[in-house]
Amino acid sequence: MKLENIKEFAKSIIGDDVTGHDWRHALRVEANAKKISSTELATEDIEIIRASCWLHDTIDAKISDEKRASIQDVEQVLRENGATERQTEEILYIIQNLSYSKNIDQKQKLNQNGQIVQDADRLDALGAIGTARAFYYGGSKKHLIYDDTRPRKAEDITEENYREQYSVVNHFFEKLLILKDCMNTKKGREMAEHRTEFMKQFLDELFDEIKEANN
């Protein structure tokens, strides 16, 4: 595969998105994937993983208004840049099935490459960077930082109501603190646990600082 061209294409689509899904997110996902992959991966698998990391948000509703057209664009770019039929299919399957929202109502089956990309993407939702992204995303969607009057539990979320407006702090409880229990790989789980500890510490400090302002 002509990876450089695929990379340039992905960068041209997500570029400087202002919801936390900009090109640097794709690069961090790629770096996470490298960290959690075993050293014995075949070159072909590494290429599929890297391309999926770069492309995974180009078809997402947060970036694209026309999901079907975006999928076709990715398909064309892959074919034009030397991906075989099988590689194209695998990458398209991974990027259409890894997202959190796609896995709420029913868990999607992913092969080893897909599981690595999914863990790598989830890791970027955790820790210091995940915390920064959550507030950044919330701000871009005009969500409140916190709101004691509208808590929502993880078990009450569906694919349908996932994007409804709740506070960013609530998002930690409905998703971010739970993600560590959904990791596919051992290394991914270890990193997720470390990042979750940081988020808990952050929330403890936050609640401590704001508690006197309640009521």
Measured from the CB of residue 84, what is the shortest distance to ligand ADP in angstroms? 27
Q: CB neighbours of 58 closer than 8 A, spacing ≥ 6?
A: 9, 10, 13, 14, 64, 70, 73, 74, 95
Cα–Cα distance measured from residue 188 to residue 158, given in angstroms and rounded to the nearest whole number = 25
Alpha-carbon dihedral of residues 172, 60, 187, 44, nearest 10 degrees?
A: 180
Reading the block at residue 191, the tokens are 């990193």
The option from ligand ADP, Ni ion, none interacting with 171 (CB < 5 to 8 A, set by class) reads: ligand ADP
Measured from the CB of residue 62, what is the shortest distance to Ni ion in angstroms? 9
The one-letter code for the residue type at 99 is S
Nearer CB in complex with ligand ADP: 80/193: 193
Measured from the CB of residue 14, what is the shortest distance to Ni ion in angstroms? 9
Nearer CB in complex with ligand ADP: 37/99: 99
| Residue nearest to ligand ADP as judged by C-beta position | 125
Nearer CB in complex with ligand ADP: 165/201: 165
Total number of residues binding Ni ion (CB under 5 A)? 2
Cα–Cα distance measured from residue 79 to residue 126, given in angstroms and rounded to the nearest whole number = 34
Nearer CB in complex with ligand ADP: 116/125: 125
Measured from the CB of residue 63, what is the shortest distance to ligand ADP in angstroms? 10
Do residues 36 and 115 lie in contact, with contact meaning Cβ atoms separated by under 8 Å? no
Query: Which spans of this chain sit near ligand ADP (rule: CB under 6 A)?
Result: 20, 60, 62, 99-101, 125, 130, 133-134, 137-138, 143, 166, 168, 171
Q: Compute the 3-state secondary structure of the chain and give helix, strand, coil in percent, each to the nearest 5.
A: 65, 0, 35
Q: Which bin fits 66, alpha (ψ -120 to 50), beta or left (φ > 0)?
A: beta
Measured from the CB of residue 119, what is the shortest distance to ligand ADP in angstroms? 12
Reading the block at residue 110, the tokens are 């992913």
Measured from the CB of residue 80, what is the shortest distance to ligand ADP in angstroms? 26
Reading the block at residue 26, the tokens are 């794709």
| Residue nearest to Ni ion as judged by C-beta position | 121
The reply on whether position 121 binds Ni ion by CB under 5 A is: yes
Nearer CB in complex with Ni ion: 90/121: 121
Binding site for Ni ion (CB under 5 A): 57, 121
